[in-house]
Amino acid sequence: MRCAHAVVVSSCWQMCFRATAERADFLLNLNNIPFRQIAAPNLPSSPRVVRPSRSSLGSLSGLMTHIFPEIFVVRHGQTVWNAAGRHQGRLDSPLTAKGQRQAVAMAGMLRREIGNLEGVTAFSSPQGRSLNTARIATAGMGAPIKQDARLAEIAFGAWEGKTMREIRASWPELATLAEQDMVSWHFNAPEGEALLDIETRADSFLSSLREPAVIFIHGVLSRVLRARWLGLDEGGMMDLPGGQGIIFHLHPDHGHRVIEK
């Protein structure tokens, strides 16, 4: 398979990012972070694929010895609420024209990487934006799409349908938490899901895989799922690349890479 941009995960960079205002903006806009390469000091500047260490992972210790099958993680194309900056969570909005073009482009990427999906199972969140992306991206490949509720997006509770400006205005007390602990803030929406809830869903899904898979998914769950597959802690999870119109490829021998058209 072709090699593309790679992500190098570095604990020292994680500490540095948390200490900057730029890091704050990065985390507060979790769903729409574009791809960027993170390079560790004293490493070659040319892209490489690096398999993060599975040691000293704290709460992730249960996954340290588990090697999962190869997966291709595909976030849905842009939606109306993505464009408007609204949190979707368990609510839904349709793909925009740009989102549909992204799904078509990702179909080409998948064909280039794995042909007609022979020997690969296609899974999707049952939510409309993900399922419609999956249908467009796998059209003509003859592969059925298995819907799995464990792949639904994080429940944002009272924040669903709201912009960041509206959230800050209605829950000013959480602004302090956002400054102190960005990870905790994002998983503390009133009536929403906690990080542990999402990790449990991701673990259950990954443990059920028996062969390579293409997984059509959402922004937050994509990060959690990839972090659990890689054995990363919370800081490492937040340093993973995001974005739409690209595919994340995780392989037991080659680690994490980004596929672009």
- pLDDT, tens only, 205-220: 999 999 999 999 999 9
pLDDT higher than 70, residue 195 = yes
CB atoms inside a 10 Å sphere around CB 150: 18
79 is in an annotated binding site: yes
Domains of the chain: 5-259 (3.40.50.1240)
| CB neighbour class for 20 (10 Å; exposed up to 12, middle 13-18, buried from 19) | exposed
82 is in an annotated binding site: yes
- pLDDT, tens only, 17-44: 333 333 333 333 444 433 322 222 232 2
- Residue 177: the pLDDT is 76
Contact 222, 248 (CB under 8 A): yes
Report the alpha-carbon distance of residue 2 to residue 28 in Å, rounded: 33
Window from 52-61, 74-83, 167-176, 220-229 with minimum mean pLDDT: 52-61
77 is in an annotated binding site: yes
- Residue 179: the pLDDT is 73
CA dihedral sign of residues 59, 198, 205, 257: negative
- Residue 258: the pLDDT is 97
129 is in an annotated binding site: yes
Residue of 118 and 232 predicted with greater confidence: 232
78 is in an annotated binding site: yes
Give all strands (DSSP E) within the chain, no chain letters: 5-6, 71-75, 121-124, 145-147, 213-217, 247-251, 255-259
Best CA proximity match to 234, nearest among 165, 186, 172, 179: 186
Q: What is the mean pLDDT of the chain?
A: 79
pLDDT higher than 90, residue 124 = yes
- Residues with a catalytic annotation lie at 76, 153
pLDDT higher than 50, residue 87 = yes
Supply the pTM of this predicted model: 0.76
Angle, CA 221 vertex, CA 22 and CA 41 arms, to 5° = 40
